[in-house]
Amino acid sequence: MSTFDDLDLDDRVRKVVSDLGYETPSPIQAETIPSLLAGRDVTGQAQTGTGKTAAFALPILSRIDLDAKKPQALILAPTRELAIQVAEAFQRYAANLPGFHVLPIYGGQSYGPQLSGLRRGPHVVVGTPGRLIDHLERGSLDLSGLTNVVLDEADEMLRMGFIEDVEKILQAVPESRQVALFSATMPKAIRSISQSYLHNPVEVSVKSSTATATNINQRYWPVRGVHKLDALTRILEVESFDAMIVFVRTKQLTEELTEKLQARGFSAAAINGDIAQAQRERTIGHLREGRIDILVATDVAARGLDVERISHVLNYDIPHDSESYVHRIGRTGRAGRSGEAILFVSPRERHMLRSIEKATRQSISQMELPSVEAVNDQRLARFAQSITDTLANGELSLFQDLVQEYERTHDVPAAEIAAALASMVQGDRPLLLEPEPEPTENSKRSGKAQAFEISGDETAVFRVEVGRRNRVTPSALVGALANEGGVPSKRIGHIDIRAEHTLVELPAELPDDLLRKLGKTQVAGRGLRIRRAGDEVLDRSGNGRPRKPGRDKFKGPRKGQRSSGGVRSGASKRPAREHS
């Protein structure tokens, strides 16, 4: 098959595809559409961003009965974002089908609009498993007229714990339905679903030579010296981008980083699992329309978000696994477009970088952080361009008269008046960055923060706001306090990691400038927010880690021992996923 004209699609659907500018089907489309049109069940294995939605939407629309009053196709998706994206794709491809109605159903949205939509009789329902089960139990979703069922991103539904819900839904659909299952990987549980609920399926596998798109230029910046926020700011000022997603680990950091970017003059918005669904949809719409340029997001946005403007993905916090990395950067470089992916990597995260390179079979090149001079050159160029644009717009006669009058009255040169006006417009924010301080010989050799001199031998218990829920380890905390905060490692005592916070023994008299520095230091993507522990006491019964006299560095537990967080050294523990 060389073009969509060679496929036996409905003429009205084919015309929409042509109007959208698509000429050649992708491999998954070319191999899947004929089998679905012929009524065969299909299992399709392909990475995200390969055109799977059109692969099942186009044949479903080509066979839809517009006069039917019950849902004819049910598409199961793991996340709200993917459900919305699939529903929008159906609506787009059905532009020439009068009266066609598709209804997205997902958690986080009130039941009222969904119940009203179901009463109107949608032709296609796209939903997440949990909310679909709710409607089945309410009796508001009638599956008796189904002819097509699609499982989209089945492996992700498995990973999110939805497989029991998926099986319950498949058991409720008519026996005569056609089923298509799409998945990036085919673990044993997914193959079991295929064997149990698909009838003699056609197996389609589209494998790429690498797990990430070759049209995405991948780079990393080794975090050192400059704070990550300052590094991000430099990149945003110098890098040429249309729209960008900045991925962070925590919901809290999406809000904090967004506020800081907005304060620095960037049009940014946050998206995470705690933001109301209606607001999330508006935010994505604003990104698509160009009303915002930067989206700060948790992994909740890593699947199903397809905005053509996204030219860059920046991993402010490194993801916990290589699969998450692949899905994050898959938000750019889609449908054959080129994209840029940037990854921030701290010294303690270099092993994760190597794991990502091994999993993706691609080398990620190190990038140089834009220099102060490069940032200042860009700022001066934008300043000059704003003057040029203002002059080109005209309508300056009133202001020219005012400046000339001021020049005559106060005997001040016009250049000085213009400088004063520019200063008024600039406000408190400096136009240019200050030159970077020269590194000391000690910092050149070690790459670590210079240790503070702390007097006195008394110790006290301090509380920091990271704990087991943040996957913090004793070695990570010691590294942050010593390497980034500047606390001499030999002055760090017992560490007691608890669920929501950690108690650590430090010198009682910490200098004010050291406390301020520690307040800005981050571990596990969260600020330490260090303070005296009050009445809390260290647990020295085994949860805390007593330091041996004379030890200069905390090396953490040996392999097989338990750390203070209760997780075996060397063992992995998957992070809790945000609810979708």
pLDDT tens per residue, range 92-117: 899 999 999 999 999 878 888 999 99
Supply the pLDDT for residue 82.
Answer: 85
Top-level class of domain 4-205: alpha beta
Torsion angle of the four alpha carbons 115, 116, 119, 121, in this order, in degrees rounded to the nearest 10: -110
Per-residue confidence at 333, pLDDT binned at 50, 70, 90? Answer: confident
Tell me the one-letter amino acid at 158. L
Residue 573 C-alpha from the chain's centroid: 20
Q: Are strands 310-315 and 243-247 parallel, antiparallel or unpaired?
A: parallel
Retrieve residue 95's tokens.
């532009």
Beta-carbon-side half-sphere exposure of residue 370 (alpha carbons within 13 Å): 20
Q: Which residue has the higher pLDDT, 424 or 115?
A: 115
Domain extent listing, the chain: 4-205, 216-370, 373-426, 446-569
pLDDT tens string 502-544: 998 888 877 777 777 787 777 777 778 888 877 677 765 544 4
Same fold, 4-205 and 216-370: yes
Both tokens of 56, joined, read: 């099942």
Half-sphere exposure of 394 (CA within 13 A, CB side): 0
Position 483, amino acid: N
Residues 263, 268, 273, 279: is their CA dihedral positive or negative?
Answer: positive
Question: Could you give the C-alpha distances from 153 to 49, 172, 580, in angstroms and in order?
Answer: 11, 20, 14
- Are 26 and 56 in contact, with CB atoms under 8 Å apart? no
User: Exposed (0-12), middle (13-18) or buried (19+): which is 209, by Cβ within 10 Å?
Assistant: exposed
Q: What percent of the chain has pLDDT over 90?
A: 33
Q: Torsion angle of alpha carbons 481, 483, 484, 489, nearest 10°?
A: 30
The 8-class DSSP code of residue 562 comes to: B
Distance CA 415, CA 507 (A): 56
Mind listing the pLDDT tens digit for each residue in 127-152? 999 999 999 999 999 999 999 999 99
Strand partners, 464: 502
Does the pLDDT value for residue 499 go beyond 50? Answer: yes
- Please give the CATH number for the structural domain made up of 216-370: 3.40.50.300
Q: Is 498 helix (H, G, I), strand (E, B) or coil?
A: coil
Instruction: Report how far residue 206's alpha carbon sits from residue 183's, in angstroms, rounded to the nearest whole number.
Output: 11
* Nearby residues of 78 by Cβ (< 8 Å), 6 or more positions away: 128, 129, 152, 153, 156, 157, 160, 162, 303, 580
Angle, nearest 10°, between helix axes 228-238 and 372-393?
A: 40
Q: Comparing C-alpha atoms, which of 121, 122, 120, 115 is closest to residue 139? A: 115
**pLDDT digit string, tens, across residues 61-70:** 999 999 998 9
Average pLDDT, the chain: 81
How many degrees, rounded to 5, is the angle at CA 443 between CA 437 and CA 448? 115
Q: What is the rounded average pLDDT of the residues 202-215?
A: 70
Tell me what the mean pLDDT of segment 230-249 comes to. Answer: 90
pLDDT, tens digit (0-9, with 9 covering 90-100), for 386-409 = 888 888 887 888 888 888 888 888
Instruction: Give yes or no for a contact between 365 and 216, defined as CB atoms under 8 angstroms apart.
Output: no
- Beta-bridged to residue 245, according to DSSP, are 295, 313
Tens of pLDDT, residues 444-467: 444 444 445 565 567 788 888 888
Place of tokens 């604003």: 286
What is the rounded CA–CA span in Å between residue 162 and residue 302?
18
Rounded distance, CA 125 to CA 60, Å? 12
Distances (CA, A) of 175 to 41, 70, 178, 320: 13, 16, 9, 41
Q: Mean pLDDT, to the nearest integer, of 207-223? A: 74
